[in-house]
Amino acid sequence: MAAEAARESHFEDYVVRTRKLTRIYQMGDTVLRALDGVDLDIKRGEYISIMGPSGSGKSTLFNMVGGLDKPTEGTVFINETDMAQLDAAELAWIRCRTVGYIFQTFNLIPVMTALENITLPMVFAGMSTDEQLQRGRALLERVGLGDRLHHRPSELSGGQQQRVAIARALANDPDIILADEPTANLDLRTGKEIIELLREMNEERGVTVISATHDLHMIDISDRIVWVRDGAIEKIEDRASIELTVGQVDWEEESGQAEESE
C-alpha cells in the first residue's frame, strides 16, 4: 500500500526522466557523442527551456524524449514508462497522444487547411468526426485563428502557422509539448507572442512545455532553464536564480547567439 502510494506520487511528479542518456553518431571513423550521459527530471506542468549553442545536442535530446529516435545508451521514462520497452505501434500512440510537437519550420501539412491540420492527430487517435470538428474549432479560436479555419498554410503568415502548430500540438491533450526553436523563424515580436501563448497553454492546461531555444525572451517565463553544452548538462537554473543572474546571462550571450535571436 505504502509503496503503491509512493509510486503514484512519483508518477504524478515526473513526466519525463532521463538516465545516462547517450546518443552516439558514427560517421565513418569519427564518433560523435551528441548526447553524453544526460540525467534530467522534468516535473508535470513545468515550463522548461533548453538553452545551448548550435550543435550542443538540443534537438538530439528532443528526439529521444519524443520517441523519434532511440538512445545509444541510457533510458528515457515518459510517465514512468521506459520508452525502450515500447514497440513501433505503442511509440506511435505516444507521439499521437502523449507528446505534442512544435517545430522551427512550423511543419503544417501543406495540402491541408488549418482545421484539417489540427484534426489529423485526432483522426489518428480515433476521435469521432463531430468531436474532431468541435475540438478543432475551439482550439483554433483559442489561438486566435477562429476566422482562418479553412486557410491553407501557404495562405497564413509564419506567426499564424505557428499558432496552428500550437493548436495541433494540443489536439489530443498531450502531457508534454516539445518545441524545438519555435521562434527561430519568426520576427522578434511574433516570436514573443508565440512564447507567451505557449506559456498560457502551460498554465491553463497544465501541459508540460519543453522548449529548445536561443531566444533569451524564454528566460523570463521559464520555470527552469537547462543549459547544455557538448551533449551534457552544464547547469540547471530555477526561477529564483534566473532573476538573480539575468544580467550575467545577457552578458554571456552577447558574444554567442545574441545576433541569431534578433
Ligand X SMILES: Nc1ncnc2c1ncn2[C@@H]1O[C@H](COP(=O)(O)OP(=O)(O)OP(=O)(O)O)[C@@H](O)[C@H]1O
- The whole-angstrom distance between residue 6's C-alpha and the CA centroid of its chain comes to 28
Q: Which stretch binds ligand X (CB under 6 A): 27-35, 36-44, 185-193, 238-246?
A: 27-35
φ, ψ of residue 86 to 5 degrees: the values are -95, 145
Choice from 19, 24, 32, 149 touching ligand X (CB under 6 A): 32
Minimum distance from residue 92 beta carbon to another protein (Å):
5
Query: From another protein, Mg ion, ligand X, none, which one binds at residue 134 (CB under 5 to 8 Å depending on kind)?
Result: none
159 binds, among another protein, ligand X, Mg ion, none (CB under 5 to 8 A by kind): none
Burial 36-63 (b: 16+ CB within 10 A, else e): bebebebebbbbbbbbbbeebbbbbbbb
Q: Pseudo-torsion of CA 176, 180, 184, 187, nearest 10°? A: -10
Q: Is residue 55 at the binding interface for ligand X, with CB under 6 A as the rule?
A: yes
Strand order in the sheet with 99-102: 99-102, 176-180, 208-213, 47-51, 224-229, 232-238
Nearest distance from C-beta of residue 97 to Mg ion, angstroms: 24
CB of 70 to ligand X, least distance (A): 12
The amino acid sitting at 51 is M
Restricting to residues 39-68, which ones interact with Mg ion according to CB under 5 A? 58-59
Neighbours of 230 (CB within 10 A): 14
For ligand X, how many residues bind (rule: CB under 6 A)? 12
Query: How many Cβ atoms are within 10 Å of 145's Cβ, its own excluded?
Result: 21
Residue ranges binding another protein (CB under 8 A): 12, 59, 62-63, 66, 68-69, 79, 81, 86, 88-90, 92-98, 101, 103-105, 107, 109-112, 120-121, 123-126, 152, 168, 172-173, 175, 180
